[in-house]
Amino acid sequence: MEFIGEKLLQVVIALAIFAAVIGLIMLLVDRAPKSVKDKVTVAGFLAPAAILMLVGLVYPAIRTSMLAFTDASGNGNGFDNFVWMFTQPEALTTLRNTVIWTVLVPLLSTSFGLAYAVFIDKARGERVLKSLVFMPMAISFVGAGIIWKLVYDYRGPNIEQTGVINFFRDALGMDPKQFLLDAPENTIFLIIVMVWIQTGFAMVILSAAIKGVPVELIEAARLDGANAWQQFRNVTVPGIRGALVVVLTTITIATLKVFDIVRTMTAGNYDTSVVANEMYTQAFRAGEPGRGAALALILFLMVLPIVVYNARVLRKQREIH
């Protein structure tokens, strides 16, 4: 079985190289360089990128795809890993959490970022306020996880609380809360960290897009009797639709791949695991690389439609302009 797998891998790599060569030839024909020197120049520019893609992207993707159909011993097991993924309670919880993350984080981050972009643009001290909102983007996910773990820290009943929120709850006579232990709301408290980070990114992109909306359109809407909300809904939002799509899809992809926050704050315990974290856990902790590869393959399939959609929208935007 292993011998067959190695042979199959060699065939696939050979086909990939052949496809790359054919693509290069087609590009050369399409561009129709005038001289041999131009052809050599084009090949020289493309060859490093093609080699890096084959070694760093195509080959690992093929290996991971093959590994997804093996057991812990490396023997083929058909679709058992995928059956486990969609039947076992812990795997289903992981998929459920990933869906919750993917729905809430982009919507909340984009909504808050848009609100900040609209209101901060009209406020005094715009640069300072934007810097404060954007600052979490400068913090690594691990650093943000540690910061918020201290915010949510729980010391137990009748013990002095050091966590920020529980300190104030204790000062107000309320019982301290185990924010990261109590499921399913602990997932929401982890999502807050991601929203806190991504809101600054959404604000910067959308603020730049809003400034690019022609003032003449807004003035025309105002002269037609449109109020502030109507101007925003009918003029500003259509004018920044492309930026909204980019922000939503970018944050969605980042959310699907989220690992650091969950790993740092709960290690995926207490029903908080997501696909990226479970992929690591199965492959490197549980000794089930096949399951980890299957999760990686599912993650890729979840990201792929978003990337394709984003590319199509951007292409349409270029065609319009």
Task: Indicate the domain borders of the chain.
Answer: 2-67, 83-320
- How does pLDDT run across 15-62, given as a tens digit for each residue? 556 556 555 555 555 555 556 667 677 777 777 878 888 888 888 888
End-to-end CA distance of the chain: 54
Sign of CA dihedral 120, 122, 124, 128: positive
pLDDT band at 119; cut points 50, 70, 90: confident
What pTM value is reported for the model? 0.81
83-320 — its CATH code? 1.10.3720.10
Token code pair at residue 241: 């639709």
pLDDT digits (tens, 9 = 90+) for 274-311: 999 999 998 888 888 999 999 988 888 888 888 788 77
For residue range 129-146, what is the model confidence (pLDDT) as tens digits?
A: 888 888 999 899 999 999
pLDDT confidence of residue 3 = 44
How confident is the model at residue 238, as a pLDDT? 87
> Which pLDDT value is given to residue 173?
84
Average confidence score pLDDT of the chain: 84
Evaluate if residue 205 carries a pLDDT over 70: yes
Helix extents (H) in the chain: 2-31, 36-53, 59-67, 80-85, 89-120, 126-134, 141-151, 164-171, 185-211, 215-223, 228-231, 237-239, 241-256, 260-265, 275-280, 289-320
Q: Which residue has the higher pLDDT, 187 or 310?
A: 187
Greater model confidence, 58 or 321: 58
Share of the chain above pLDDT 70, in %: 87
Instruction: Give me the amino acid identity at 145.
Output: G
Distance CA 223, CA 218 (A): 9
Q: Bridge partners of 76? A: 70
pLDDT reading at 317 higher than 80: no
